[in-house]
Amino acid sequence: MADTPSGASPDVPPASPSDPDPQIGELNLSDWHAHADKMAGVGFLTIARRLPALIAQAVRLAWRASPRDTLTTIVLSTLGGVFTAFGLLATTGVLSALFEAGPTPERVRAALPSLILVGVAATLRTLVQAGAGWAQSRLDPQVSRIAEERLYGLTSQVELASFDDPDFHDALQRARTRGVAMADAVVSMAVDVLTAAIGIAAAAGVLGVLHPVLLPLLVLAVLPDAWAAVRAARMRYTTMYALIPAHRRKWIIAELLADREPAAEVRSFTMRGFLMRMYDAVSRAEQAILLKLARRQTVARLVGEGLSGVGTAVVYVALGLLLAVGAVPLAVAGTAVLAIQSGKGSLQNLMYATNRLYEEGLYFTDFLDFCADAETRLIRARTKRAPASFERIAVDDVTFTYPGADDPALKGVTIHIDRGEVIALVGENGSGKTTLAKILSGLYAPDSGRVRWDDTDLAEVDPDLLRRNIAVIAQDHTRWPLTAKHNIDMGTDKGEPALAAAAEVAGADQVVAELPYGYNTLLDRRFKDGQELSGGQWQRIAVARGFHRDAPLLICDEPTAALDARAEHALFERIRRHSDGRTVLLITHRLASVRYADRIYVLDHGKVTEQGTHARLMDLGGLYAELYTLQSRAYSA
């Protein structure tokens, strides 16, 4: 095997002089930390102030998931702390009896009642802690379900334009990748914090009873560890937050290298070397950041543990001095040692749980922040009833701009569509045809202007109810990983006759006839017995889906893009027959298909520049005539 250059991965092909350097864009290191400013000044006191709010959020979520299990967990955890304190105090009685003067059998008999109390307290504590753990384990899946349903309930309801907003995408990435997954962990850690705090309270109460000097010394022993844990958590979160663009880029490249759809072109264009070098560049940059993080976290932990050891030594020196001067009896000192160990264990648990709660709470807060933002993007409640049909659809002076764009996609567009008409939208790429179709279908809300069905302003009606009266056949249709039946009826289940009729009109019945299980065939080869369709076959399924809706308005956005000439002609003939009594809005680049439209609107850079019948527009000699002539020459050449 040939030697691999130093520092290079053997799986990454070497670059030749003609190979382009992979451009990693937003992964420029100076940009990584541009998004982490909000974490730069977070300190220990800020974390301490933040924890009560995090615990409150976690408890509210847990209560929503299961009030019974939440209450059981809290009550039993509290009882566990009570029994811990009771057992420690009973231990004082045991040690006092055993350290008394006299024969050993008598001292043992004197200690027996206290020993029984210690045993009962330990047994009860074990039982209630087991019960609390059982209730907590029941909470986890319920909290996960509630959080996931909230997230996806919102993402499926927000205005479609939100998905064109880069800030929304970044927030969604954080919420999906780790935020929602942290919901059950935050609840678990919040319970652990409460449990550890109760254990500390129990030990602290015992120490306070034994001698008030012991309590502050105990706190001194573990505060350095707490500081180190919080600092390490802050470092990790800041780094992970800054690495989101890297993770997204790695995921995109990984999909190109491992997904089925791009696999053919990756090989045809010999893209493997380029993609692997790009992946390696991203991975090495990410690796360097993570190695630096590991070094900084280790230093913080070493400092914390060193200071904690000094604090622990101070505690035991102080206890020895109290014994030497007779400030506490030996039995009390023995109990104090046990209480210190118990308190220190609880404090260590609290430190760990606090660390986890704070770190995971930051991701959980990303989830909560995204949900709060998504709720502002929901369409406000509309009480006006959606019209079932129309005599005329009027678009009046509509303007629309995509989020983050400088120029409007539509600029003062005015058109009308009468019932029963076949209307065509034509124009070059980027002219605004599809954007206008999405506004007409209720997917986008215009920035200004109005869309009316007769006298009803669509801004006043529920868009979901309106969309039930609109069928859309899109060029970029979804290839649902469902059966052929569900790909057509979309779960509406209007019955076999409606399913068969829609498939026949679209020519999808011929596609289904070739499938091994007919309409019950799963259309995804990634699953057992799944089948894959060609682009043209998928197009027919999508057309059948639109026809099955049987709506008064049918919007066809490049419905023949994946069809050959014969299939395209047959489909347009079917659309004409199917449109009898219905209204069809047709968007296409193939102008021969729109010759028989009742009216043609020509869009150019977001404006309607021409309108009329085919004959009128040809006489006009404008953009439509130019495009039509170019296509005619191409077909006749």
Beta-carbon neighbour count of residue 467 at 10 Å?
A: 16
HEC per residue, 385-433 = CCCCCCCEEEEEEEEECCCCCCCCCEEEEEEEEECCCEEEEECCCCCCH
* Distance of alpha carbon 147 from alpha carbon 168, whole angstroms: 18
Beta-carbon contacts of 539 under 8 Å, excluding residues fewer than 6 positions away, are 477, 559, 560, 561, 562, 563
Is pLDDT above 90 for 608? yes
* Distance of alpha carbon 341 from alpha carbon 335, whole angstroms: 10
- The residue with greater pLDDT, 274 or 359, is 274
How would residue 603 be classed by pLDDT, with cut points 50, 70 and 90? very high
Partners of 583 in the beta sheet? 553
- The residue with greater pLDDT, 636 or 527, is 527
- The residue with greater pLDDT, 604 or 37, is 604
pLDDT at 48: 65
Cα dist from 362 to 52, 269, 336, 407, whole Å = 13, 43, 37, 36
CATH number at residue 304: 1.20.1560.10
* Contact by Cβ (8 Å): 118, 94: yes
Q: Which has the minimum average pLDDT: 109-123, 173-187, 493-507, 557-571?
A: 557-571
Q: What is the mean pLDDT of residues 111-123?
A: 74
How would residue 104 be classed by pLDDT, with cut points 50, 70 and 90? low
Beta-carbon neighbour count of residue 355 at 10 Å?
A: 22
* Distance of alpha carbon 354 from alpha carbon 356, whole angstroms: 5
* Contact by Cβ (8 Å): 322, 197: no
pLDDT at 29: 35
- Helices 330-376 + 214-242 axis angle, to 10: 30
- Say whether 49 sits in a helix, a strand or coil: helix
* Contact by Cβ (8 Å): 502, 542: no
* Distance of alpha carbon 210 from alpha carbon 204, whole angstroms: 10
pLDDT at 110: 63
Share of the chain above pLDDT 70, in %: 81
414: its two tokens: 């005015």
* Contact by Cβ (8 Å): 456, 384: yes
295: its two tokens: 């070094």
* Distance of alpha carbon 281 from alpha carbon 293, whole angstroms: 19
Q: What is the pLDDT of residues 23-54, one digit of tens each?
A: 544 443 333 333 344 444 455 566 667 778 88
- Say whether 233 sits in a helix, a strand or coil: helix
Query: pTM, whole model, 2 decimals?
Result: 0.68
Partners of 556 in the beta sheet? 473, 586
Is pLDDT above 70 for 148? yes
Is pLDDT above 60 for 493? yes
How would residue 301 be classed by pLDDT, with cut points 50, 70 and 90? confident
- Helices 67-99 + 182-210 axis angle, to 10: 30
Cα dist from 385 to 97, 389, 453, 459, whole Å = 83, 12, 12, 11
Q: Which has the closest alpha carbon to 627: 606, 603, 608?
A: 603
Residues 371 and 514 in one domain: no
* Contact by Cβ (8 Å): 508, 523: no
How would residue 349 be classed by pLDDT, with cut points 50, 70 and 90? confident
Count of domains for the chain? 2
Q: How many CA atoms lie within 13 A of 227 on its CB side?
A: 15
Residue 579 domain-assigned?
no
How would residue 399 be classed by pLDDT, with cut points 50, 70 and 90? very high
DSSP state of 613: -
pLDDT at 565: 62
Is pLDDT above 90 for 126? no
Residue 341 domain-assigned?
yes
Last residue in a domain, options 355, 376, 397: 376
How would residue 616 be classed by pLDDT, with cut points 50, 70 and 90? very high
Signed CA dihedral, 433, 434, 437, 438: sign only? negative
pLDDT at 567: 66
189: its two tokens: 């850690």
Is pLDDT above 60 for 637? no
Last residue in a domain, options 339, 355, 376: 376
Last residue in a domain, options 331, 354, 376: 376
- Say whether 207 sits in a helix, a strand or coil: helix
* Distance of alpha carbon 22 from alpha carbon 273, whole angstroms: 10
Number of H helices and E strands in the chain, helices first, is 20, 10
Residue 193 domain-assigned?
yes
Q: Which long-range contacts link 408-413 to residues 24+ away (Cβ below 8 Å)?
A: 408/447, 408/606, 409/435, 409/606, 410/435, 410/436, 410/439, 410/446, 410/606, 410/607, 411/605, 411/606, 411/607, 412/449, 412/607, 413/449, 413/603, 413/606, 413/607, 413/608
Displacement of CA 149 from its chain's centroid (Å): 11
Residues 372 and 488 in one domain: no
Residue 176 domain-assigned?
yes
Residue 587 domain-assigned?
no
Residue 424 domain-assigned?
no
Q: What is the mean pLDDT of residues 152-167?
A: 86
Q: Which has the closest alpha carbon to 377: 192, 233, 163?
A: 163
Q: What is the mean pLDDT of residues 66-86?
A: 85
Q: What is the pLDDT of residues 166-192, one digit of tens each?
A: 888 888 888 887 788 888 888 888 888
Domain of residue 545, residue span: 484-550
Q: What is the mean pLDDT of residues 62-78?
A: 89
Q: What is the mean pLDDT of residues 138-147?
A: 89
pLDDT at 411: 93
* Contact by Cβ (8 Å): 538, 479: yes
* Contact by Cβ (8 Å): 563, 539: yes
- Say whether 138 sits in a helix, a strand or coil: helix
Beta-carbon contacts of 388 under 8 Å, excluding residues fewer than 6 positions away, are 469, 552
Q: What is the mean pLDDT of residues 518-545?
A: 86
pLDDT at 6: 42
Query: Phi and psi for 523 in degrees, rounded to 5?
Result: -95, 65
Beta-carbon contacts of 345 under 8 Å, excluding residues fewer than 6 positions away, are 199
* Distance of alpha carbon 125 from alpha carbon 202, whole angstroms: 12
Residue 438 domain-assigned?
no
Signed CA dihedral, 336, 337, 341, 342: sign only? negative
Residue 492 domain-assigned?
yes
468: its two tokens: 């039930």
Q: What is the pLDDT of residues 467-486, one digit of tens each?
A: 888 888 887 788 888 889 99
Q: What is the mean pLDDT of residues 532-556?
A: 86
pLDDT at 492: 82
pLDDT at 222: 66
Q: Which has the closest alpha carbon to 468: 550, 349, 393?
A: 550
- Say whether 586 sits in a helix, a strand or coil: strand
Q: Side chain identity at 294, as an amino acid letter?
A: A
Q: Which has the minimum average pLDDT: 89-98, 220-229, 290-299, 419-428?
A: 89-98
